[in-house]
Structure 1
Amino acid sequence: MQRLFYMLSFILISSKALANTGIVPPITFSKAENINKYTTRIPFKLVDHLMVVEAELLNKKGNFIIDTGSESFILNKTHFQNVYAFNKKEGNTTGVLHNIENLHQKHIKKIALQGFTLENKTSDVIDLSHIENTKKLKILGIIGYHILKDYEVFIDMYLNQITLTKTDHVGNKLTPHVYLEKITDSLNFTLKKHTIVVNGFINNHFVKLGIDSAAEFNQINKRINEKALKYFIPKKRLILTGASKHKRIEVLAGKLHRVKLSKRIYFGPMLTVLTNLSNMNEAFGTDLDGILGYEFFAQKRTIINYKKETLYFIDFPLPTH
């Protein structure tokens, strides 16, 4: 019997229309730890393969998904019903499987993230109840690029925490005293709208790959060159539900081998699904061969600097016996 999986991946904002505004009180991340004036550390829990942080908004306690593949800060309409008709956003949000309709926006006057204050942020408001039902978890919303871009973002799967450090307009940290660990490597990337795109290789075949922290499985485009596709070893079929609750697709799942991003940055076999990325590529005006998600971060302790368009890597500790 086929198992039903949910994969949250690439919530792509296709419309740039502005909406009327409503004031939303601060969001508080109660478990965050201030490291210094410009840095906070927030623990996350893994729900299946999603990184989830706890927060409180409008006297509601719940969870937010950390999603580098989402352009916006998103609130779950299920828990925030005070969205009036005049706040409806023009156009749709495009998901990897289907358009997301009935999209609204609210203007957030102020977000308090422990010692940080984020002002004049816009939140999209959509129905995320299908994610809640699948994950059996109360989800208040999704934290995406519009929030993360002003920070250097350290996603640490070893300690299950995300560290946010405020940066200036060119991406320099406002404080040098952030990481105890040593940065061992780096990699340049390009931003296609809000998506991190890296050059890489499957065996020796050149590919373009997007990086998305909320992709529960890696994805490889079924239209990829056959020389690269032969290193995808299928194991079984899955049913996936995307960012919209209205459509499901059947895909092949297996392991992707021989992925590397440079001579020194390479990966062991990664759980991957074979799917059609045409919707996403059309939305971005690019041609991605695949998406690296949870499996990427599980193998690499990764720091994202959006303004410098650079990834930095910190080694996992060596196992002790």
Structure 2
Amino acid sequence: MPKTKIILILFLSFINATSFASDIDKLVFPKAEILNKYTARIPFKLIDHLIVVEANVLNKKGNFIIDTGSQNLILNKVHFPSQYGHNKKRVETTGVLNSLDNPLQKKLSEFNLLHFSLKDKNSDIIDLSHIEKSKKMHLLGIIGYSILKDYEIFIDLYLNQITLTKVDKNGNKLDPKVYLEKIVDSIDFKLKKHTIVVNGSINSQNLKLGLDTAAEFNQINKSVNKKVLKHFVPKKRINLAGASNKQIEVLAGNLHRLKLSKTVYLGPMKTILTNLSKMQEAFGVQLDGILGYEFFKYKRTIINYQKEKLYFINYPLITQ
């Protein structure tokens, strides 16, 4: 089978160090459409299978990856070397392939989306130059759970936009009339640290699956039951480069007959067969797989962290 090289972005942050105070300026999305004081729509572009938004920070303009698998806001050390050079404290950040190399951590003094303002958010500083080069984009950083958790997030690959609407501590929307579209289904999830974990099944075998917007391909753990692997159809071998730019060879193919509930099922989806032990080590939960771009391609999905619910909106029917 032929081999292909890809970059799979999956930042799974496991932080165990003290944060620093900083003077980071506001981070602003210049193309956001502000609907009211609670709700904004942000257009995104797909770079390969990554959801990328444009933002400004510290007088720099560039791209940020939306990554529910990342615990914190991550800034690219390549573009902010002077702000962080005096900090030598190391933290541990675990990715799919291995630990990232010597990330630093600071406090984001203010994250601002025009009328939205979040203070004292953690930010990690990591060299992301290999991702920037691979994807041929100006990458300032990655927006993760610590920023997203205070909103209900509608990830819409049909309109290529993300809708953020503020929620209260119980997950109730402060703007009750956010969506024009009809919610047609929903499932529960469990939040393990910052990771969204959903229950699924294939061939009557139960699975625990992480949901990650920055996983370019779905992943299934090679240690899952053989009854599950019967529905994984291999196609080719690829070289997988992770967050720390280390590469491994994995088997890629299609995964069939995945069910998340009696009414929510998917497949076939492009999937990688790999070892997920590092994620289990990072989060203290055994994961049988990761759902990424391939999931969102089939499901227009709303994430509510406080309610621990995923809601789904149908794609429009295409008529000839």
Band of TM-score, shorter chain: over 0.9
Structure 2: how far apart are the matches of 1:235 and 1:58? Answer: 45
Residue in structure 2 matched with residue 211 of structure 1 by the alignment? 211
AA matched with 1:309: E
AA matched with 1:57: V
Residue in structure 1 matched with residue 202 of structure 2 by the alignment? 202
SS in 1 for 2:253: strand
Q: Among the aligned pairs, what percent are the same residue?
A: 63
Residue in structure 2 matched with residue 33 of structure 1 by the alignment? 33
AA matched with 2:252: A
AA matched with 1:52: V
1:96 Cα deviation after fit = 0.6
> Quick check: 2:91–2:105 contact (8 Å CA) kept in 1?
no
1:108 Cα deviation after fit = 1.4
Residue in structure 2 matched with residue 81 of structure 1 by the alignment? 81
1:20 Cα deviation after fit = 2.2
Structure 2: how far apart are the matches of 1:223 and 1:126? Answer: 31
Residue in structure 2 matched with residue 235 of structure 1 by the alignment? 235
Structure 2: how far apart are the matches of 1:298 and 1:259? Answer: 15
Aligned pairs (5 A) from 1:136-215: 136-215=136-215
1:72 Cα deviation after fit = 0.7
> Quick check: 1:88–1:105 contact (8 Å CA) kept in 2?
no
Q: Which runs of 5+ in 2 are unaligned?
A: none
Structure 1: how far apart are the matches of 2:57 and 2:231? Answer: 45
SS in 1 for 2:250: strand
1:50 Cα deviation after fit = 0.1
Q: Extract structure 1 runs of 4+ deviating beyond 6 A.
A: none
TM-score (norm 2): 0.97
Residue in structure 1 matched with residue 64 of structure 2 by the alignment? 64
> Quick check: 1:19–1:88 contact (8 Å CA) kept in 2?
no
Q: Give the number of equivalent residue pairs.
A: 319
Q: Which runs of 5+ in 1 are unaligned?
A: none
1:260 Cα deviation after fit = 1.0
Establish whether residue 2 from structure 1 lines up as the match of residue 37 from structure 2: no
Structure 1: how far apart are the matches of 2:84 and 2:288? Answer: 40
Deviates more, 1:54-63 or 1:16-25: 16-25
Residue in structure 2 matched with residue 261 of structure 1 by the alignment? 260
Structure 2: how far apart are the matches of 1:48 and 1:277? Answer: 23
1:4 Cα deviation after fit = 1.3
> Quick check: 1:40–1:114 contact (8 Å CA) kept in 2?
no
> Quick check: 2:66–2:144 contact (8 Å CA) kept in 1?
yes
> Quick check: 2:91–2:104 contact (8 Å CA) kept in 1?
no
Establish whether residue 275 from structure 1 lines up as the match of residue 274 from structure 2: yes
Structure 1: how far apart are the matches of 2:15 and 2:85? Answer: 17
> Quick check: 1:258–1:268 contact (8 Å CA) kept in 2?
yes
1:18 Cα deviation after fit = 1.7
Deviates more, 1:138-147 or 1:110-119: 110-119
1:3 Cα deviation after fit = 2.1
The 1:89–1:171 alpha-carbon spacing in structure 2 relative to 1, beyond 3 Å, is: farther
Deviates more, 1:86-95 or 1:290-299: 86-95
Aligned pairs (5 A) from 1:291-306: 291-306=290-305
> Quick check: 1:83–1:106 contact (8 Å CA) kept in 2?
no
Residue in structure 2 matched with residue 119 of structure 1 by the alignment? 119
> Quick check: 1:88–1:102 contact (8 Å CA) kept in 2?
no
Structure 2: how far apart are the matches of 1:114 and 1:16? Answer: 31
AA matched with 2:150: D
Residue in structure 1 matched with residue 224 of structure 2 by the alignment? 224
1:121 Cα deviation after fit = 1.2
AA matched with 1:156: D
Structure 2: how far apart are the matches of 1:111 and 1:148? Answer: 11
SS in 1 for 2:176: coil
SS in 1 for 2:177: coil
Residue in structure 2 matched with residue 16 of structure 1 by the alignment? 16
SS in 1 for 2:265: coil
Residue in structure 2 matched with residue 309 of structure 1 by the alignment? 308
1:191 Cα deviation after fit = 0.7
SS in 2 for 1:155: strand
AA matched with 1:2: K
CA-to-aligned-CA distance 1:69-111 (integer Å, 9 cap, x gap): 1001000000001244553443321111011122112221112
> Quick check: 2:16–2:92 contact (8 Å CA) kept in 1?
no
Structure 2: how far apart are the matches of 1:311 and 1:8? Answer: 22
Deviates more, 1:96-105 or 1:141-150: 96-105
CA-to-aligned-CA distance 1:282-316 (integer Å, 9 cap, x gap): 11111111000000000000000001100000111
Deviates more, 1:84-93 or 1:285-294: 84-93
SS in 1 for 2:90: coil
Deviates more, 1:176-185 or 1:76-85: 76-85
